Structures are given as structure tokens and as C-alpha cells.
């Protein structure tokens, strides 16, 4: 299933039985007749809430937004948890310390990307893998034979507070427990409005931000929401659907699983080869990745006169060299931007090509490296605190 959130997807809706998917425990605080919801990891989430996406985007870049996101933590515990995760993930797990997290991929035996997400070590023999879209819990269960572990769903719904004022908001909401000393991808348990919750300094926007993980039925979700809004609203924080997040994550070069990458692509194809450790020992997909072409197929694309979308071809001369996976307008750059997946590797960066839409219209476009700006990731790390 592809999780596109382009303009046309906000209007292309169907009725579906709500009982098939997990409802958000926060939905009562924002749902309206204008809300359009998507499904991700079998969870409902708001892809549009009737808002002015441009206004929300600039709030994200200048102040802060709170997002009710559908990413799903899966818990892996037991004496063999580390050894099992070494088998499943392409990145070395044994070095991760309690209270830290990192981005990690899981591949198929053929080397294709099955899942991406963030791995956290919560304690001795206890990990959470916060998965993207796809049936990852089933994948873990199918591969756990011979390991002394338990795989479970902690039923944790996740909130993200993202933007340059997120530290000030979280500092107030935690009574000072969280402050500027909390580094990127650091995590731990904190008191948030009288509830002890797991918090990480991470997110899906490439802005400074935090993720707050609920504790299943033990969490008073609406009280948590009200507490965060009480401290965030005076600083300008508002709720947003994921529309502003999608624009910012693409600007920041963050890829969407099943949208920009899938099992037909290796980590090298997607430009994620740095998250593969071929020297750590055996893992699912290693043999195929050893033999795989290490050149990148997924690149960035900019267009001054149109916003690319997933139906576009990318043409050089009279040849179709690639297709757009997804595209959005970039308010910061004043351009249409997107990702293009080339059919074959090549020296495409800096090349001028044509963007052809399904109606036959063509526009000039440029192929660029990712991310589209903030190449050194200074914003998300909190080093660049300038507000645009």
C-alpha cells in the first residue's frame, strides 16, 4: 500500500469500515467535518483537517506544531533480543546504549527495503522499534524462531511536537526535566503533566522536535493533550494534520516507506547505504546486499513552474529515465520539489531534464542532491536556531 499525500489524495476518498483500523485516542480534540484521514500501520491519522497548509507550514518553521502521528512502536524483549535484532536489522545493534535511539532498516532476503524506523533501547533486554507503514510485527514473528524473545504491541500512540520552540514547550510541560541538554535521538522517561512517559528528541520533519510515546491504557490521553496544549498554545503551538509534516519531511530528504522506497529497492538504491553494516555478521538480506550495485537511484528534483507528482515521468532528450515517487510545493525554496527514482544509476546530479505530467505537459526541472536544503542537518540537531 502506497501512502501518498499529494493534493489530489486529499480529495480522493472512499468510505471504509472504521472498525478495521485503530482509532486515535486524541481524535476528539481535533476532528471536524473537514477532517480527511489516512491509514498507516493500520492506524487512522489526519492527512488534512481543513487548515491552510501554508500557514501551518510556517508555524512549524517559526514556532511549533503538534501532530497526532500513526507510527507504531513494537516491543522486543528477552535474553535474545539484541541477537535477534542483529539478525533483522542492517545496522549494528550491540553498540546502542540505554536512552539512545537510531534509524535502522530491515531488508528482505533479496536485499529490498521492507521497513524503516527508529530503534530505542529502553532497558536491559528491552527495545522498541518504531516502525513506518507496513506489517512489521508479522515480519518479526515470522523470523523469531529459535530466539528467546517476546514480541508485543505496547499500544503506544505517538505525539510529535516539532519546531524551533519545541524545547521551550517541552521544558514547560515536563517541569524542567527536559531542556537544551537533551541531545538528538536521546530518550528517556519523564513526568509530563503527572504521567510518566517515554520521550525522544526526534521526529519526522527535520525541524527541532520531540516525540511523546503513550503508555497504552495506562495513559490519560486527553489529559496529556490538554496539558501539552496548555503549555504550547501561549508560545503559538497549534495542531496540524500531516500535510505540513509531509512537505517538511520531503524538503529535509526523509523518505517514506512504501512511497519513496519499497522491497524493489535496496538501501543503496535509496541512498541509505550508510545504514548498512556488512561487517557486523549475518543478517536478513546481507548476502544479496554484498553483491548489490552500490550506486544510488533515488534523487531530488526541483521545478520552478510546477509541482511534481507521482504520475510524472522524468525525461532526458527523448528517453524516460525515471519516475517521480512523490512531490510537494516547497514554501521555503519557492519551487516544486520531489523525489525521482531513476531506472539506472548515473551522474544525474546537476542535470537539466524535463518533467512530463500525465496530461502531456512538460516543464524544465533540475536533478539535485538530498536534502533540498540544510545539507548538514544543523536545524534538526539544534545547532541552527535561526527562524526563517
pLDDT over 80 at 277, yes or no: yes
Q: Are 314 and 199 in the same domain?
A: no
Torsion of CA 61, 66, 68, 73, to 10 degrees: 80
Q: Are 306 and 348 in the same domain?
A: yes
Reported pTM: 0.94
Q: Are 325 and 290 in the same domain?
A: no
Q: Are 306 and 227 in the same domain?
A: no
Q: Kindly state the helix (H) or strand (E) to which residue 239 belongs, with its residue range.
A: strand 238-239
Q: What does the chain come to in residues?
A: 388
Residue 376 included in any domain: no
Q: Are 146 and 162 in the same domain?
A: yes
pLDDT over 60 at 51, yes or no: yes
Q: Are 140 and 58 in the same domain?
A: yes
Q: Are 212 and 306 in the same domain?
A: no
Residue 380 included in any domain: no
Question: What residues make up the domain containing 141?
Answer: 1-294
Residue 379 included in any domain: no
Q: Are 248 and 344 in the same domain?
A: no
Q: Are 21 and 150 in the same domain?
A: yes
288-299 pLDDT per residue, tens: 999 999 999 999
DSSP string of 286-325, one letter each residue: HHHHHHS--S--EEEEEESS----TT-EEEETTEEEEEEE
pLDDT bin (cut points 50, 70, 90) of residue 3 is: low
Split into its structural domains, the chain has a count of 2
Residue identified by cell 476532528 is 31
What CATH number has the domain bearing residue 278?
3.30.1360.120
CA distances from 131 to 46, 167, 324 (A): 18, 25, 24
pLDDT over 80 at 5, yes or no: no
Mean pLDDT of the 166-183 span: 97
Q: Of the candidates 197, 186, 78, which has an alpha carbon nearest to the alpha carbon of residue 140? A: 78
Amino acid at each position: 500500500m502506497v501512502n501518498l499525500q499529494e493534493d489530489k489524495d486529499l480529495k480522493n476518498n472512499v468510505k471504509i469500515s472504521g472498525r478495521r483500523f485503530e482509532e486515535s485516542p486524541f481524535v476528539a480534540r481535533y476532528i471536524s467535518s473537514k477532517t480527511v484521514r489516512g491509514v498507516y500501520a493500520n492506524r487512522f491519522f489526519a492527512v488534512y483537517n481543513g487548515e491552510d497548509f501554508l500557514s501551518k507550514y510556517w508555524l512549524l518553521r517559526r514556532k511549533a506544531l503538534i501532530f497526532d502521528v500513526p507510527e507504531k512502536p513494537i516491543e522486543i524483549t528477552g535474553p535474545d533480543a539484541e541477537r535477534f535484532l542483529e539478525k533483522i536489522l542492517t545496522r549494528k545493534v550491540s553498540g546502542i546504549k540505554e536512552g539512545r535511539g537510531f534509524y535502522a532498516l530491515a531488508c528482505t532476503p533479496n536485499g529490498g527495503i521492507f521497513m524503516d524506523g527508529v530503534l530505542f533501547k529502553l532497558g536491559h533486554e528491552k527495545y522498541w522499534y518504531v516502525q513506518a507503514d507496513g506489517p512489521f510485527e508479522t515480519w518479526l514473528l515470522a523470523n523469531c524462531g529459535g530466539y528467546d524473545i517476546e514480541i508485543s504491541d505496547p499500544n503506544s500512540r505517538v505525539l510529535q511536537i516539532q519546531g524551533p520552540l519545541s524545547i521551550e514547550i517541552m521544558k514547560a510541560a515536563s517541569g524542567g526535566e527536559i531542556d537544551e541538554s537533551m541531545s538528538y535521538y536521546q530518550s528517556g522517561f519523564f513526568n509530563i503533566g503527572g504521567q510518566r512517559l517515554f520521550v525522544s528528541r526526534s521526529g519526522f520533519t527535520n525541524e527541532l522536535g520531540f516525540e511523546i510515546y503513550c503508555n497504552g491504557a495506562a495513559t490519560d490521553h486527553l489529559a496529556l493533550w490538554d496539558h501539552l496544549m496548555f503549555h504550547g498554545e501561549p508560545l503559538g503551538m497549534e495542531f496540524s494534520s500531516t500535510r505540513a509534516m509531509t512537505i517538511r519531511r520531503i524538503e529535509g530528504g526523509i523518505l517514506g516507506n512504501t512511497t519513496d522506497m519499497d522491497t524493489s529497492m535496496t538501501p543503496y538504491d535509496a541512498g541509505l547505504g550508510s545504514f548498512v553494516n556488512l561487517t557486523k555478521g549475518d543478517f536478513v538480506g546481507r548476502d544479496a546486499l554484498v553483491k548489490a550495485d552500490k550506486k544510488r537511484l533515488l534523487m531530488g528534483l526541483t521545478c520552478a513552474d510546477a509541482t511534481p507528482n507521482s504520475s510524472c515521468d522524468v525525461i532526458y532528450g527523448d528517453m524516460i529515465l525515471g519516475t517521480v515517487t512523490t512531490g510537494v510545493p516547497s514554501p521555503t525554496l519557492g519551487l516544486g520539489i520531489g523525489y525521482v527514482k531513476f531506472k539506472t544509476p548515473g551522474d544525474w546530479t546537476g542535470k537539466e531534464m524535463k518533467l512530463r505530467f500525465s496530461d502531456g505537459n512538460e516543464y524544465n526541472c533540475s536533478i539535485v542532491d538530498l536534502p533540498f536544503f540544510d545539507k548538514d542537518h544543523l536545524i534538526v540537531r539544534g545547532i541552527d536556531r535561526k527562524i526563517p
